[in-house]
Amino acid sequence: MSSMRSIKIGTRNSPLALWQAREVARNLQNRNYKTDITPIVSSGDKNLTEPLYAMGITGIFTKDLDIALLNKQVDIAVHSLKDIPTQLPKNIEIIAVLKRDYPQDVLVRSAGAKNKELHDLKIATSSLRRRAFWAKTYPDTQFFDIRGNVQTRLQKLEDQEFDATLFSLAAIERMGLPVEYEHLSMMISAPAQGVVAVCGRSDDEEIIELFKEVDHRDTRICIDIERNFLQTLEGGCTAPIGAFAEINEEDEVRFIGRLCSLDGKNCIETDEIFKWNEHENFGEAMAEKVLENGGRELMEEIKSQIS
């Protein structure tokens, strides 16, 4: 590709999304490419009153960028990978992922709840996964809906009647926010959490070729397993699903996956170590085990409760 051309990077305009776009730009500039960041307002950001799962969750944060990409207003779109549906629109693909930094969920308390026990906390989260995984350990918790970007949610934490909320650690660390947080051993991350993804048009060979240099191999292997696990389990329905894979130098992978009922009472888990190779769909295989182990009935139950 001629290094004279400037690569147009589409992004949402929240502070975190802009950080992600700048991180991709930095990767390109290090390879002597010019970049141009183009913020696009997403419908997911325009509607902050309705909980995510009432808005037809699939692709709510990616749709506007998908349209900009397909209309060639931008060359690439940068997303938080956990926001990208496993079913991508026609002619759009994930052409690179950056190295994963902070995959974990963390707890942030309001000033007034510093000394409360975990089981007494009133928790604000609109994530079905976070609610179910929390309720698995603390079944009597009172939950509240909360929406908005990190800064908005931190403000709501001080203004409203709940005690704490859950964030992706990546959001806090990337923004350099001076926030106290606690790690939670009972949480399993959302599939592909903590990963910045670059989407491009499937027919844009120049851009696809260029981003092969940017793509982080080990992260790519892990997120493919996590997303295949998710896709096989949910089949288009949103459910409390956690998945996290780690790989070492010998291509040995440890994978932890979990599917929970909405109230957290019924959970099916898998925790396995295997040698990776490119010919097997490990995520699918592990999801099939969960489905055969009671997951199929559990998914039916979740579908009937959400619809």
pLDDT at 102 over 90: yes
What pLDDT was estimated at residue 230? 96
The pairs formed by 145-152 with CB atoms below 8 angstroms and a separation of 24 or more are 145/51, 147/48, 147/49, 147/50, 147/51, 147/52, 148/48, 149/14, 149/15, 149/16, 149/45, 150/15, 150/16, 150/175, 150/177, 151/15, 152/48
87 pLDDT band (50/70/90 cuts)?
A: confident
pLDDT tens profile 178-234? 999 999 999 999 999 999 999 999 999 999 999 999 999 999 999 999 999 999 998
pLDDT at 7 over 60: yes
Q: Alpha helix (H) ranges present in the chain?
A: 15-29, 43-46, 63-70, 128-137, 150-159, 169-175, 205-211, 217-234, 282-290, 296-306
Residues present in the chain in total: 307
Q: Of the CATH numbers 3.40.190.80, 3.40.50.10800, 3.40.920.10, 3.30.160.40, which one belongs to the domain with range 230-306?
A: 3.30.160.40
**Which residue in 64, 66, 75, 83 is the catalytic one?**
83
What pLDDT was estimated at residue 86? 87
What pLDDT was estimated at residue 295? 96
Higher pLDDT, 54 or 145: 145
147 pLDDT band (50/70/90 cuts)?
A: confident
What pLDDT was estimated at residue 2? 53
Please tell me the pTM assigned to this model.
0.90
What pLDDT was estimated at residue 174? 92
pLDDT tens profile 236-284? 568 999 999 999 999 999 999 999 999 999 999 999 999 999 999 999 9
pLDDT at 96 over 50: yes
83 in catalytic set: yes
* Dihedral (Cα; 104, 110, 115, 120), 10-degree rounding: -80
What is the CATH number that goes with domain 105-183?
Answer: 3.40.190.10
What pLDDT was estimated at residue 43? 58
Measuring CA to CA, how many Å separate 305 from each of 29, 281, 295?
48, 30, 15
From-to residues of CATH 3.30.160.40 in the chain: 230-306
- What average pLDDT does the structure give for the chain? 90
From-to residues of CATH 3.40.190.10 in the chain: 6-98+195-215, 105-183
Class of domain 6-98+195-215: alpha beta
pLDDT tens profile 31-61? 999 999 999 875 554 444 544 334 444 555 6
